[in-house]
């Protein structure tokens, strides 16, 4: 059997290295993208919150040399915008409180934290993505994230940091699916929502066989990261599905949570769900694109093999024999 060309882009098993020593949450968390794993200059770690973590807070005020995106998403696929908890997060010394699935953009140099859980209702996920480095030590090593402070931060700039917070998603991407998943999906990061952001993130829950399957596509000028994360907090590495994810001319099969690094110019898709046992999340992260059109316009191939010239998913193909 020929050696795979594209397996090097798949993260089938997360690294457990970030955020150790915390009770009532995944600790360490699951790293699904890093320079060590795929060569990507991005770091993504995420983990389930099972109750109010101990200690609380355990994420103290800190600052990075890189832009960061922080997502908190609810673990109930029937109520995807309900977080399942209430969190107070200081950004630039300004307290921000939220109880919905929320995306936050944190420019480099902006102090943020502490992050404190005020209420807990049901399990949810916290995800941190560092832009510009795939090395956790460059991203967090000297940030001060674990250094407890004697007093709460004070706001020193005349700026409303609420502008970096997305409490309710846009619904514009992936609107052509007929069954099996959220459609449209939830966009929780874009330049339309936060004018300083140049990354587009959309994700949605999948609970059955997705129809139609995601088509073949290629992005000529932009790298992409795709995550498929299982929705069972008791078994977070189980995807809950049997999924075919084609890369180039190879058919890669997955039944565990995974991350995929897709460099620009690499043909990928179709994505075909063969079995779905549990709800799970699919997340697409387009790097260097602030809007859906910048990310996906002209990327998709239709059933005739020709490229589509718009940003939405192609329409449902006709049934066989019709």
The total domain count for the chain is: 2
As a whole number of angstroms, the distance between CA 23 and CA 36 comes to: 27
Calculate mean pLDDT across residues 207-212: 95
From 166, 201, 217, the end of a domain falls on: 166
DSSP lists the bridge partners of residue 3 as none
Using DSSP bridges, classify how beta strands 186-189 and 268-276 pair: parallel, antiparallel or unpaired: unpaired
**Is 208 found in the same domain as 160?**
no
The parent domain of residue 77 ranges over 7-166
- Same domain? For 202 and 233 the reply is yes
> Could you tell me which of 40, 45, 47 has the C-alpha nearest to residue 10?
40
Do 152 and 82 sit in the same domain of this protein? yes
pLDDT in tens, 16-31: 999 999 999 999 999 9
Nearest to 310 by CA among 175, 153, 139: 175
pLDDT at 309: 65
Cα 124 from Cα 173, distance rounded (Å):
23
Q: Cα(101)–Cα(256) distance, rounded to whole angstroms?
A: 24
Give the CATH number, domain containing residue 246: 2.60.120.10
User: Cβ atoms within 10 A of the Cβ of 97, count?
Assistant: 10
Which two tokens mark 147? 């250094």
Is residue 322's pLDDT more than 70?
A: no
Position 123 pLDDT exceeds 90: yes
| Cβ neighbour number for residue 310 with a 10 Å cutoff | 12
Residue bearing the bigger pLDDT, 76 or 311: 76
β-strand partners of 252: 245
């Amino acid at each position: 059997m020929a050696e795979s060309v594209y397996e090097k882009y798949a993260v089938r098993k997360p690294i457990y290295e970030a955020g150790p020593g915390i009770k009532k949450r995944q600790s360490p968390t699951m790293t699904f993208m890093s320079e060590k794993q795929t060569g990507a200059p991005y770091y993504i770690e995420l983990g389930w919150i099972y109750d109010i973590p101990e200690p609380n807070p355990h994420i103290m005020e800190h600052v990075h040399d890189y832009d960061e995106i922080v997502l908190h998403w609810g673990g109930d696929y029937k109520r995807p915008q309900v977080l399942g908890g209430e969190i107070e997060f200081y950004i630039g010394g300004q307290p921000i409180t939220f109880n919905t699935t929320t995306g936050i953009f944190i420019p480099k140099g902006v102090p943020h934290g502490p992050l404190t859980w005020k209420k807990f209702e049901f399990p949810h996920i916290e995800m941190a993505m560092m832009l510009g480095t795939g090395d956790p030590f460059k991203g967090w090593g000297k940030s001060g994230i674990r250094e407890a402070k004697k007093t709460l931060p004070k706001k020193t700039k005349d700026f409303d940091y609420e502008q970096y917070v997305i409490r309710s998603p846009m619904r514009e991407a992936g609107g052509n699916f007929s069954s099996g998943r959220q459609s449209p999906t939830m966009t929780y990061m874009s330049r339309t929502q936060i004018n300083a952001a140049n990354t587009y993130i959309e994700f949605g829950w999948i609970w059955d066989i997705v129809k139609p399957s995601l088509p073949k596509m290629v992005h000529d000028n932009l790298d992409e990261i795709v995550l498929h994360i299982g929705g069972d907090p008791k078994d977070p590495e189980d995807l809950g599905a049997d999924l075919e994810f084609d890369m180039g001319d190879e058919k890669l099969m997955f039944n565990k949570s995974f991350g995929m690094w897709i460099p620009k110019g690499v043909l990928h898709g179709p994505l075909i769900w063969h079995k779905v046992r549990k709800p799970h999340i699919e997340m697409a992260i387009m790097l260097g694109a602030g809007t859906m059109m910048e990310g996906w316009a002209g990327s998709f191939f239709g059933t005739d093999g020709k490229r589509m010239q718009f940003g939405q998913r192609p329409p449902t193909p006709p049934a066989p024999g019709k």
